Amino acid sequence: MRYSHSAQGKTRPPQALDPRKQPTQSRATETVNAVLEAAARILEKHGFEGYTTNAIAERAGVSIGSLYQYFPGKDAVTVALIERELTLLSADVTEADSIADYRDAMHHLIKAAVTHQMRRPKLARLLDFEQSRLPIAPRIRHVTDAIHRTLLRTFSRPGAPYIRNMQEAAFDLIAIAKGIVDAAGERGETDAHRLEERVRRAVYGYLGISSPSRRGL
Amino acid sequence: MRYSHSAQGKTRPPQALDPRKQPTQSRATETVNAVLEAAARILEKHGFEGYTTNAIAERAGVSIGSLYQYFPGKDAVTVALIERELTLLSADVTEADSIADYRDAMHHLIKAAVTHQMRRPKLARLLDFEQSRLPIAPRIRHVTDAIHRTLLRTFSRPGAPYIRNMQEAAFDLIAIAKGIVDAAGERGETDAHRLEERVRRAVYGYLGISSPSRRGL
DNA sequence: AGCGCACATGAGCTTTCGCTCATATTCTAT
DNA sequence: ATAGAATATGAGCGAAAGCTCATGTGCGCT
Does residue A22 have a pLDDT over 50?
no
pLDDT at A9: 32
Pick among B46, B106, B144, B206 to test the A interface (most A CBs inside 10 A): B206
| B154 contacts B96 by C-beta, under 8 angstroms | yes
B11 phi-psi bin (left φ>0, alpha ψ -120 to 50, beta other) = beta
Q: Is the CB of A73 under 7 A from strand D?
A: yes
Q: How confident is the model at residue A14 (pLDDT cuts 50, 70, 90)?
A: very low
**Which residue of chain A has the CA closest to B205?**
A205
How far in angstroms lies nucleotide C18's C1' from the CA of residue A63? Answer: 28
Of residues B18 and A26, the one with the higher pLDDT is: A26
Other C-beta atoms within 10 Å of B190: how many?
Answer: 10
Q: Report the amino acid identity of residue A74.
A: K
Pick among A191, A201, A214 to test the B interface (most B CBs inside 10 A): A201
Nearest to A202 among B47, B164, B206 (CB): B206
Q: Is the CB of B74 under 7 A from strand C?
A: yes
Q: In whole angstroms, how far apart are CA A82 and each of A68, A96, A129, B63?
A: 18, 22, 10, 40
State how far the Cα of B18 lies from the Cα of A36, in Å rounded to an integer: 64
pLDDT at A209: 84
State how far the Cα of B12 lies from the Cα of B28, in Å rounded to an integer: 10
- If we measure between CA atoms, which residue out of A166, A158, A149 comes closest to residue A96? A149
How far in angstroms lies nucleotide C27's C1' from the CA of residue B84? Answer: 30
Chain A window 30-49: residues with CB closer than 7 Å to nucleic chain C are 31
| A203 contacts A173 by C-beta, under 8 angstroms | yes
Kindly provide the b/e burial profile for residues B145-157, where b requires at least 16 CB atoms within 10 angstroms of the residue's own CB: ebbbebbeebbee
Q: Which nucleotide does the CA of A75 lie closest to, via C1'?
A: D18
Binary contact (A172, B161; C-beta < 8 A): no
Share of chain A above pLDDT 70, in %: 85
Q: How confident is the model at residue A185 (pLDDT cuts 50, 70, 90)?
A: very high
Cβ neighbors of A156 (< 8 A, separation 6 or more) are A166
CB-contacted nucleotides of strand D (7 Å): 6-12, 16-22
Pick among B45, B131, B201 to test the A interface (most A CBs inside 10 A): B201
Cα A42–chain centre separation: 17
Q: Which nucleotide does the CA of B63 lie closest to, via C1'?
A: D9
Cβ neighbors of A9 (< 8 A, separation 6 or more) are none
Q: Tens digits of per-residue pLDDT, B25-78?
A: 677 888 999 999 999 999 999 999 999 999 999 999 999 999 999 999 999 999
How open is the CA angle A61-A63-A68, to the nearest 5 degrees? 120
Domains and CATH numbers, chain B: 82-207 (1.10.357)
Q: Tens digits of per-residue pLDDT, B78-120?
A: 999 999 999 999 999 999 999 999 999 999 999 999 999 999 9
Q: How many CB pairs under 8 A join A and B?
A: 103
DSSP assigned state of A211? P
**Which residue of chain A has the CA closest to B189?**
A168
DSSP assigned state of A187? T
Q: Tens digits of per-residue pLDDT, B149-172?
A: 999 999 999 889 999 999 999 999
Binary contact (B175, A182; C-beta < 8 A): yes
How far in angstroms lies nucleotide D6's C1' from the CA of residue B84? Answer: 27
Does residue A10 have a pLDDT over 60?
no
